[in-house]
Amino acid sequence: MAPPATPVAVSAPGKVLLAGGYLVLDREYTGLVFGLSARINVVARSIPTSPGVQLNEIVVDSPQFLEAQWRYGYHLAPERGGIKVTQFQVGSNINPNPFVETTLNYALTFISTLAPTNQSFAAARFTVLADNDYYSQPHSSSAADTAKKNPTRFAKFPTTLRDAHKTGLGSSAALVTSLTAALLTYYLSPSDFDLATPQGQRTLHNLAQAAHCAAQGKVGSGFDVAAAVYGSCKYRRFSPSILKGLPEAGKPGFAPALFECVTQAEWDTEIAKDGVSLPAGVALRMCDVDCGSQTVGMVKKVLAWREQDSQAAKTLWDDLQASNEKLGATLKAGEVESISGAVASVRELIRAMGTGSGVPIEPESQTALLDALQSVEGVHNGVVPGAGGFDALALVMKDDAETEKRVKQFLETWSADKGGVVRMLDVKGEMEGVRRESLDQYDGWVQ
């Protein structure tokens, strides 16, 4: 049994796909994705035991939510199947979490293959803490009341994780990435894995992509994991064939296949950080609409329409790619006066995609809200990001307290008039991806 490792804390950012929704599923096109200041944090530390007592247990907990502890044993699967975890009962419940379980299977298998002496893992606890903006808070329409209810960085929620309302910032990708990074950093020596190096980030990216795709049951575009690892970037997806041949975790040959996929496969992802930025004095902000969308169903409908009406769809995809690239260039060049028009061109084509496919990518209620927000001084424009629907809005706006105050006041009035709750989140766009953190900021949450 390896000795307990030094406590480790890492975090990975959420994401907003400002431009490239649906296009990013196809390698012919790219997406403009921004990392966010809202992060999923994971703190790894040993589980104290009495002298002579040996635990073969890994615990993952999320103390912000009810019934959010997952305990696992593990074993070495036969025929080079890698490390397979088995969930233990907590109280009277077994509460499965496929993202946590799959990440453990993949990361522990990789670690045991890279460092064969690590076939046995010291008992450890991994505490997950999500910045508040990942979930819609219990709130009234008053921003002041909301602040009073949750004055801390990590709110306690009166619900289970399953029942929490997500704001659409990419929590599952940030969780898989940060948990994978914590496992690699905690159990491997710095010579085998260093999060601060390009090689370490590449290993993390490939392993987290493989685990996240397996956990969600399909090979997605991966832009959310890329943003969690690298932060803001221009992204071109990897070929799905890279992951197609992987056996299931624990099945014969899984361990060498995963190791080769992560370290040897020709990953054709393109991640360009150069030139992805916001002009000085301009911020990317998010507004929570608190109702959410069934993204998977929307994507299926759009792709079905693309197949049925391929010529019209190709013209639209190409036009949208050009508009997206123009928006990126406008932001990079700092042409503040051109932002509104560049975003308007993107939105017009997104609405055309919605009309053609019969999918509410920019629903009428979101169109009305975005159009009205442009009348607020300091707001350039905004989009319904990613796959669209009723998730959080992204605003490109002046980065100052006065503009923020005007937007919050506008949203309070809008919410009161329309009978819903729309509020600005604290989160902002930022450039940095996954990183190590100091342990002292988690005082009170981890002992």
Q: Pick the closest to residue 15 from 271, 262, 194 (CA basis).
A: 271
Single pTM value for the model:
0.93
Question: At 274, is the secondary structure helix, strand, or coil?
Answer: coil
Find the mean pLDDT for residues 282-307.
84
Q: Where in the chain is the domain with CATH 3.30.230.10?
A: 8-274+432-442
Letter string b/e over residues 167-194, b meaning 16 or more CB atoms within 10 A of that residue's CB: bbbbbbbbbbbbbbbbbbbbbbeeeebb
What's the CATH number for 282-430? 3.30.70.890
- State yes or no: pLDDT of 145 exceeds 50: no
Q: Note the maximum CA span of the chain.
A: 70
Q: What is the pLDDT of residue 93?
A: 75
At 141, is the pLDDT very low, low, confident or very high (cuts 50, 70, 90)? very low
Q: What is the pLDDT of residue 54?
A: 61
| CATH number belonging to the domain at 8-274+432-442, selected among 3.40.630.190, 3.40.50.2300, 3.20.20.330, 3.30.230.10 | 3.30.230.10
Find the mean pLDDT for residues 275-287.
94
Q: What is the pLDDT of residue 40?
A: 97
At 293, is the pLDDT very low, low, confident or very high (cuts 50, 70, 90)? low
- State yes or no: pLDDT of 267 exceeds 80: yes
Is 417 exposed, middle or buried (CB count within 10 Å of its CB: 0-12, 13-18, 19+)? Answer: exposed
Q: Helices in 91-187 by DSSP H: which ranges? A: 98-114, 143-149, 171-187
Q: Where in the chain is the domain with CATH 3.30.70.890?
A: 282-430
At 421, is the pLDDT very low, low, confident or very high (cuts 50, 70, 90)? confident
Distances (CA, A) of 435 to 127, 186, 432, 438: 16, 14, 8, 10
- State yes or no: pLDDT of 292 exceeds 60: no
Find the mean pLDDT for residues 391-410.
95
How many alpha carbons lie under 13 Å from residue 435 in its C-beta half-sphere?
12
Residue that is written with structure tokens 């006065």 in the block: 402
- State yes or no: pLDDT of 109 exceeds 50: yes
Interval 113-138: pLDDT, tens: 999 876 679 899 999 999 988 887 65
Interval 311-367: pLDDT, tens: 999 999 999 999 999 999 999 999 999 999 999 999 999 999 999 999 999 999 999
How would DSSP label each residue in 349-390? HHHHHHHHHT--SS-HHHHHHHHHHTTSTTEEEEE--TT-SS
Interval 236-258: pLDDT, tens: 999 999 999 899 999 999 999 99
As given in the structure block, the two tokens for residue 399 are: 């980065």
Q: What is the pLDDT of residue 52?
A: 60
As a whole-number percent, the residues of the chain with pLDDT over 70 amount to 92
Q: What is the pLDDT of residue 118?
A: 66
Find the mean pLDDT for residues 36-48.
94
Distances (CA, A) of 4 to 1, 103, 106, 112, 222: 9, 21, 21, 16, 33
Q: What is the pLDDT of residue 183?
A: 97
Q: What is the pLDDT of residue 140?
A: 40
How many alpha carbons lie under 13 Å from residue 339 in its C-beta half-sphere?
27
- Can you tell me the distance from the alpha carbon of 205 to that of 222, in angstroms, rounded to the nearest whole number? 10
DSSP-derived letter for residue 25 is G
